């Protein structure tokens, strides 16, 4: 569904991601974890063409993001790490705007408002929204147009426990519908609960990739936390 | 450092929903995308704090100017279109480019999730930037229409419609320079990573074009033109759209009457040799070039 072939991104002298080859299958949830600045967000953004590869290729459903970005993006929904909405707009107006861009019917926007528990606040200006409501609105926008895959950059970061739980429940529903999910997170418990596979990034490289069980077994450690600790510490020292 | 990949076997089977999703993938046509984004940007601009504040200030100033004439016995009377247009030419050619350049820089400058969210949709980067620019330009045109329209209403009711053609030309010229400001602001926003830096650069450019340029132009004329108006003056006025439009407006309103010998010289220079066409051409280039450069840079930018 989403494939990276030798994807490398360099910002000036900084090598953000080095030679990443990775394939996400349809219906799979892949979580990227790793320290800040390890290349997770750059990898996510490359799937949408927000970051252009220095080398290599990124494709969505076979469409090269660099040369056929609009077609590739039509298959993806995206929730950015820091989401900003213009002042004065309501959730319903924003959803309808993005729905028009994606060719989604107005009834779809109403369903998404209900699904993300925003139907009661749909006509309120979004600058009055809490962080959790903003994230849910972002997720509703990401779900417009029935995307085949979602790209979620730290979807539950900075949310209170109830906000995070609500968002996690919505994500679980999304997974059941067979939508592919590529997400980044710092929450290891969340990742272990949601992801079919986990990729650990260290200093721009995909150091480990596999299911939780495979990662734990491969390193012979008791759990994901220890796997993460050992991988990131070893790689950073190396 | 080598990459260790642990083999993965656990991936879910695809569901029947995939075929449905694949079938309804939608990409808007470029012109429709530009129109949708422009409309959204216009609505956003009109609901911001800056644009309505500028609109209110500009309208108060324009109507104030239209009322600011003094009658023979010292009472306040409504000015005619010509005198109002002369006064507004100075005001609007400062205010509208200022609004345009700041609006463009503030809207496009800086990194936020809003820009990322828009660019993550099935639209091209050029469409996204053009749509936003058109929306901002429309907002500026509305501010201009409101200010000039309110003043025109006052003049028509108080002094009649005589001389309205020159007034309309000033309004159109000032709006065009404001739109040039939007384009320059958008370019500054594209080239700048932080919104505050973008707005600071925008203000500096406006100050350079509106204030410093005239001082430099006078100096250049003294050095290379011996202080005499001639081709150098035409060239200098053409390089700065703000000055070019001011010259056109003055000629339309009767430069020789307004400015005496200097105005007559201006009229002679611009009336002959295609000076007017040069200014209009320069204005067109100034409207198109910043957007074209911004679009090119925007397409290469990482977010």
Question: How many Cα neighbours within 13 Å face the side chain of B110?
Answer: 18
More confident: B2 or B203: B203
Task: Give the CA distances from residue A72 to residues A66, A68, B116, B271, in Å, rounded to whole numbers and listed in that order.
Answer: 9, 6, 15, 55
**B229 close to B269: Cβ distance less than 8 angstroms:** yes
Residue B214 tokens read as 């005239």
**What is the mean predicted confidence (pLDDT) over B23-30?**
69
Contact A235 B10 (CB under 8 A): no
Handedness of CA A192, A198, A202, A208 (dihedral sign): positive
Contact A102 B122 (CB under 8 A): yes
Contact B122 A11 (CB under 8 A): no
Residue in A with minimal Cα distance to B43: A89
What does residue B278 show for φ and ψ, rounded to 5 degrees? -65, -45
Chain-wide mean pLDDT for chain A?
91
Mutate to test the interface with A, among B2, B7, B9, B12 (most CBs of A within 10 A): B12
Rounded CA separation B218/B154 (Å): 37
Look at strands A2-11 and A14-24 and give their pairing. Answer: antiparallel
Chains A & B: contacts with CB separation below 8 Å = 166
Contact A80 B13 (CB under 8 A): no
Chain-wide mean pLDDT for chain B?
83
More confident: A160 or B124: B124
Mutate to test the interface with B, among A56, A62, A86 (most CBs of B within 10 A): A86
Task: Tell me what percent of the residues of chain B surpass a pLDDT of 70.
Answer: 78
Which residues 208-227 of A have a C-beta within 8 angstroms of B? 208-211, 214-215, 218
Is B140 a residue whose pLDDT tops 60?
A: yes
What 3 state SS string does chain A have?
CEEEEEEEEEECCEEEEEEEEEEECCCCEEEEECCCCCCHHHHHHHHHCCCCCCEEEEEECCEECCCCHHHHHHCEEEECCCCCCCCCCEHHHHHHHHHHHHCCCHHHHHHHHHHCCCHHHCCCEHHHCCHHHHHHHHHHHHCCCCCCEEEEECCCCCCCHHHHHHHHHHHHHHHHCCCEEEEECCCHHHHHHHCCEEEEEECCEEEEEECHHHHHHHHCCCCHHHHHHHHHHHHHHC
Residue B207 tokens read as 């100050």
Tens digit of each residue's pLDDT (9 = 90 or more) over A62-118: 999 999 999 999 999 999 988 889 888 999 999 999 999 998 888 889 999 999 999
Question: Considering only CB atoms, which chain B residues are within 8 Å of A238?
Answer: 1
Contact A82 B10 (CB under 8 A): no
**B66 close to B79: Cβ distance less than 8 angstroms:** yes
Is B57 a residue whose pLDDT tops 90?
A: yes
Q: Give the largest Cα separation in chain B, rounded.
A: 95
Residue B221 tokens read as 């004329």
Q: Which residues pair with A2 in a beta bridge?
A: A24, A60
Q: Is A11 on the interface with B (CB under 8 A)?
A: yes
- The pTM for the full model equals 0.86
Is B288 a residue whose pLDDT tops 80?
A: yes
Rounded CA separation B273/A29 (Å): 70
Rounded to the nearest angstrom, the minimum Cα separation between B65 and chain A is: 32
User: What is the pLDDT at residue B3?
Assistant: 46
Rounded to the nearest angstrom, the minimum Cα separation between A116 and chain B is: 18
Q: Report chain A's C-alpha Rg in angstroms.
A: 18
Q: Is A117 on the interface with B (CB under 8 A)?
A: no
Q: Which residues pair with B77 in a beta bridge?
A: B69
Q: What is the DSSP letter of B210?
A: I
Is A51 a residue whose pLDDT tops 90?
A: yes
Q: Map tokens 């990482």 to a residue.
A: B302
**What is the mean predicted confidence (pLDDT) over B41-58?**
93
């Amino acid at each position: 569904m989403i494939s990276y072939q030798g994807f490398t991104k360099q910002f000036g002298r900084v090598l953000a991601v080095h030679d990443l080859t990775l394939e996400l299958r349809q219906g799979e949830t892949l979580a990227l974890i790793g320290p800040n600045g390890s290349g997770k967000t750059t990898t996510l953004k490359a799937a949408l063409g927000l970051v252009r590869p220095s080398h290599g290729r990124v494709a969505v459903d076979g469409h090269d993001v660099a040369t056929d970005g609009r077609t590739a993006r039509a298959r993806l929904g995206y929730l950015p790490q820091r989401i900003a909405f213009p002042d004065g707009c309501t959730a319903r107006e924003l959803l309808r705007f993005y729905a028009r861009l994606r060719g989604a019917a107005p009834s779809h926007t109403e369903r998404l408002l209900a699904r993300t528990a925003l139907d009661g606040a749909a006509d309120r200006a979004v600058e009055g929204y809490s962080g959790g409501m903003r994230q849910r609105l972002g997720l509703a926008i990401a779900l417009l147009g029935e995307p085949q895959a979602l790209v979620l950059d730290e979807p539950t970061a900075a949310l209170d426990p109830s906000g995070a739980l609500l968002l996690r429940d919505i994500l679980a529903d999304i997974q059941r519908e067979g939508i592919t999910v590529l997400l980044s997170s710092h929450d290891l418990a969340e990742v272990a609960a949601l992801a079919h596979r986990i990729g650990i990034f260290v200093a721009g490289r995909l150091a480990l990739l596999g299911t939780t069980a495979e990662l734990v077994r491969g390193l012979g450690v008791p759990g994901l936390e220890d796997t993460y600790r050992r991988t990131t510490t070893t790689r950073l020292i190396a | 450092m080598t990459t260790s990949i642990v083999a993965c076997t656990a991936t879910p089977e695809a569901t029947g929903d995939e075929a449905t999703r694949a079938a309804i993938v939608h990409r808007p046509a470029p012109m429709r995308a530009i129109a949708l984004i422009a409309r959204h940007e216009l609505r956003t601009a009109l609901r911001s704090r800056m644009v309505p504040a500028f609109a209110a200030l500009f309208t108060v100033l324009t109507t104030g100017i239209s009322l600011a004439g003094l009658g023979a016995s010292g009472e306040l009377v409504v000015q005619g279109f010509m005198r109002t247009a002369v006064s507004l030419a100075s005001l609007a050619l400062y205010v509208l480019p200022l609004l345009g350049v700041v609006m463009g820089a503030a809207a496009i400058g800086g990194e936020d999730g809003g820009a990322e969210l828009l660019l993550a949709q099935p639209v091209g980067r050029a469409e996204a930037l053009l749509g936003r620019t058109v929306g901002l330009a429309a907002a500026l045109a509305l501010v201009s229409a409101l200010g000039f329209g309110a003043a025109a209403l006052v003049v028509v009711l108080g002094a009649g419609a005589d001389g309205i053609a020159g007034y309309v030309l000033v309004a159109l010229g000032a709006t065009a320079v404001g739109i040039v400001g939007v384009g320059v602001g958008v370019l500054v926003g594209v080239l700048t990573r932080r919104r505050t830096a973008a707005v600071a650069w925008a203000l500096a450019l406006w100050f350079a074009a509106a204030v410093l340029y005239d001082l430099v132009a006078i100096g250049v004329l003294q050095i290379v033109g011996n202080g005499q108006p001639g081709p150098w003056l035409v060239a200098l006025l053409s390089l700065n759209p703000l000055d070019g439009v001011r010259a056109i407006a003055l000629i339309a309103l009767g430069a020789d009457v307004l400015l005496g010998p200097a105005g007559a010289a201006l009229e002679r220079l611009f009336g002959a040799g295609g000076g007017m066409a040069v200014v209009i051409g320069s204005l067109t280039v100034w409207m198109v070039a910043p957007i074209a450069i911004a679009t090119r840079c925007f397409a290469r930018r990482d977010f």
